Amino acid sequence: MDVWGGTAGVMRYFGVHPETANLSTASTDLVTYYGNVIPAGTTFRGNITDFGAGYIFALDIDYYTDLGGGFGPVDEQFVKDASWTRLRELSIGYGLPKSMIEKAGFTSLEFGITGRNLILWTDFEGTDPETSLTGSGKARGLEYFNNPGTRSILFNLRFGF
Amino acid sequence: MGKIKNMLVLGLVLSLTYSCESVVADLNNDPNNLTDVPVGLMINHIVLNTASVAEADPARITAMWADQMTGSDRQYISYDNYNILSSDFDAIWADIYQSGVAQAKIAEEKALTDGNAEYAGVAQIIRAYYFGEAAALFGNVPFSEVGDFTSFPDPKYDNQLTVFSGVQELLTKGAGNVIDFKNGFGIYETSSSWKSIASALSARYHLLTGNYSAALSAAEAAAFDTPASSVNITHSTSNYSENLFWQFAVEQRDGYLTFGDSYMSKILSSDNAAYRGNSKTDETARKAYYITDDLLNTSSGAFAIDASFPLISFEEVQLIIAECAVRAGDLDKAITALNNVRAAWDARLGGGLYVDYMLTDFATGGIANTQSESQEDALLREILEEKYLSVIGLPTFYDVNRTKNFLGVSTDRTENSIAQRFIYPSSEESSNANFPGLVDLFVPTPVNE
């Protein structure tokens, strides 16, 4: 399942995505998005990317605030595989032996603990890909500062009479 | 007895069937769901809608592309760098065609049926405006088959030059109908009659096609002789009627559209090497009128909450006269028109800023000939620069491309040339069988080929 990771895109625009914090050193003279030249050996904030066919660019703030960021017109770069596996629910319980509870007038007494959404395995970068930007609406596969699915831990006690 | 009983039953049935007809008659006509309105209620709409072309998205985008303004935040950085999609033009196309052309055509037909020649003329002039701007922005556009869904569900795209000549015909027809009619419909504030407005628009579109002699005579016929002749879209401080640049910059998208490092800002800034001031020209007040700390002056200047915005202005028409006069070799007429505009700015900004130019100022070595060029070229440069600083948005974008960027305004940050046009919208691509295919942003429109 593919999901548009809007959060990661917009974080690149604002320079708070870890990728935009990288320091890179130009091995040869590099051209930036706005056509400026970064001389070989210079260290700059940003990344060096090979777009293929010999086009190697220095991606700096000018790139991330335009095509490389989430507000630009190219969204496809942020559509990522968002397959996931999760531990949805785990319960363990224990029923006390009858001999211990008969005197108190119970036929049974059990206690237990249940956890929901304990572990999520996914390579998707962003909030829980099971959530949807539009809530229960028709649009699916949109991730943009969604509220994550909640994790909950429940304790329970059951008395039988 | 049985017969009488049968008669009674039949009578009862008949009376039940027919007697209450008046109660349910017209029940299916919803009085709240209007199917038609008189032309008097439509005409305001088609006039008001011109603001969504002259002052809204198209004006903001062209101001960025002509480098009067700068896109400084989020989507506007991309727009300024020409990273824009065909779907970004859907709303603009709808404003021009659905809300503009189509409604103007209906209004015109209604007015003609009512025998109201003045309203018919206004509708024709406004329709010409929408078509003119559509052709100037998009190149070849639907024209001859527009507004007749039954016969032409898929209107063909007419050549831009055909559209412009059709626009001139519409303006002439409209001018013939309005005669001396004056009415801003509560939207425009102007001392000009509709006939003058038609002439002024005619001058704008003749200029676009490079027909300078026709542009000159139309501009002179418009008689936009004082700043009060400008056709100003009025605004007020009440909600939704504020200046549209103010709404955008203050209420909606603070910081998206600025003067940043625009060419306009550079030539107005006395601390910049490109400053255009000289012993007869002081641009400090004009800079303050437009710009506050690189942002739009939304408190008191051009983009104040209640500042009006011109559909077509005194300055534009005077400078059309000036440019066409230079091209016709009549430098005296040109300099008079140029000085008219400078004097208007001087009066608006408090005086002592602009002293009238003389022809000698443009001769080699003159104060207004900074690039050591011929007197004609220096004067032309000054006229175009004055227009660049006096007219915001669409007309300036057209000038920059028509003159092959004679002024040398900065091209954008990622490209070496200036966008020539708007891209056809995705709504047309998906709904019009005669869609001609997407045309690249950098392909000149036929008039500029």
pLDDT digits (tens, 9 = 90+) for B310-325: 999 999 999 999 999 9
CA distances from B118 to A21, B72, B209, B380 (A): 65, 45, 28, 38
More confident residue, B23 or B174: B174
User: Chain B residues with CB inside 8 Å of A31's CB?
Assistant: none
Q: Which of A70-79, B190-199, B351-360, B409-418 has the lowest mean pLDDT?
A: B409-418
In percent, the amount of chain B with pLDDT more than 70 equals: 97
Q: Which residue has the higher pLDDT, B27 or B180?
A: B180
* Residue B263: per-residue pLDDT: 96
Given pLDDT bands bounded at 50, 70 and 90, which one contains residue B6? confident
pLDDT tens, A57-95? 899 999 999 999 999 888 899 999 999 999 999 999 999
Residue from B73, B79, B81 whose CB has the most chain A CBs within 10 Å, to mutate? B81
Q: Tell whether A33 lies on the interface with B, counting CB pairs under 8 A.
A: yes
Q: Is the Cα dihedral B79, B81, B82, B85 positive or negative?
A: negative
Which residues from chain A sit within 8 angstroms of residue B88, using beta carbons? 73
pLDDT of res. B176: 97
Residue in A13, A35, A73 closest to B83 by CB = A73
Count CA atoms within 13 Å of residue B306 on its CB side: 4
How confident is the model at residue B331, as a pLDDT? 97
Each residue of A4-35: pLDDT tens digit? 999 999 999 999 999 999 999 998 999 999 88
**Yes or no, beta carbons of B414 and A33 under 8 Å apart:** yes
Comparing CB atoms, the residue among A62, A71, A74 nearest residue B74 is A71
* CB pairs A-B closer than 8 Å: 28
Q: What pLDDT sits at residue B215?
A: 98
pLDDT at A140 over 90: no
Task: Find, in chain A, the residue whose alpha carbon is nearest to that of B86.
Answer: A73
Length of chain B: 449
User: How much is the pLDDT for B281?
Assistant: 97
pLDDT at B162: 98
- pLDDT for res B2: 65
Find the mean pLDDT for residues B385-404: 97
Q: Which residue has the tokens 């303004």?
A: B69
Q: Please determine, for residue A114, whether its predicted confidence score (pLDDT) is greater than 70.
A: yes
Q: What is the DSSP letter of A34?
A: T
Q: Is the pLDDT of residue B1 over 70?
A: no
Q: What pLDDT, on a 0 to 100 scale, did the predictor assign at position A64?
A: 95
Stretch B168-176: mean pLDDT, rounded?
Answer: 98
Taking residues B146-161, report their average pLDDT.
95
Q: Which helix (H) or strand (E) holds A95?
A: strand A84-95
Selected residue with higher pLDDT from A52 and A69: A69
Q: For B61-91, how does the pLDDT look when each residue is reduced to its tens digit (9 = 90+)?
A: 999 999 999 999 999 999 999 999 999 999 9
pLDDT at B194 over 60: yes
Measure in Å the smallest separation between the Cα of A15 and chain B Cα atoms: 12
Among the residue ranges A99-103, B295-299, B423-427, the one predicted with the least confidence is A99-103
What are the tens digits of pLDDT across the range B342-381?
A: 999 999 999 999 999 999 999 999 999 999 999 999 999 9
Q: Is residue B411 over pLDDT 80?
A: no
Instruction: Find the CB nearest B77 among A35, A66, A74.
Output: A66
pLDDT tens digits for range B241-291: 999 999 999 999 999 999 998 999 999 999 999 999 999 999 999 999 999
> SS3 sequence, chain B?
CHHHHHHHHHHHHHHHHHCCHHHHCCCCCCCCCCCCCCHHHHHHHHHHCCHHHHCCHHHHHHHHHCCCCEECCCHHHHHHCCCCCHHHHHHHHHHHHHHHHHHHHHHHHHHHHHCCHHHHHHHHHHHHHHHHHHHHHHCCEECCCCCCCCCCCCCCEECHHHHHHHHHHHHHHHHHHHCCCCCCCCCEECCCCHHHHHHHHHHHHHHHCCCHHHHHHHHHHHCCCCHHHCEEECCCCCCCCCCHHHHHHHHHCCCCEECCCCHHHHHHCCCCCCCCCECCECCHHHHHHHEECCEECCCCCCCCCCCCEEEECHHHHHHHHHHHHHHCCCHHHHHHHHHHHHHHHHHHHCCCCECCCCHHHHCCCCCCCCCCCCHHHHHHHHHHHHHHHHCCCHHHHHHHHHCCCCCCCCCCCCCCCCCCCCCCCHHHHHHCCCCCCCCCCCCCCHHHC
Q: Does residue B14 have a pLDDT over 70?
A: no
pLDDT of residue B18: 65
How far apart, in whole angstroms, are the C-alpha atoms of residue B60 and residue B234?
Answer: 18
Mean residue pLDDT of chain B comes to: 94
% of chain A residues with pLDDT over 90: 68
Q: Taking the alpha carbons of B292, B350, B200, B189 in that order, is the dihedral positive or negative?
A: positive
B414 interfacial to chain A (CB closer than 8 Å): yes
Cβ-defined contact of A71 to B77 (cutoff 8 Å)? yes
Are B205 and B394 within 8 A, CB to CB?
no
What is the tens place of the pLDDT at every residue in B84-129?
999 999 999 999 999 999 999 999 999 999 999 999 999 999 999 9
Q: Say whether pLDDT at B227 is over 90.
A: yes
CB atoms within 10 A of CB B391: 21
- pLDDT of the residue at B16: 63
Q: Is any Cβ of chain B less than 8 angstroms from the Cβ of A13? A: yes
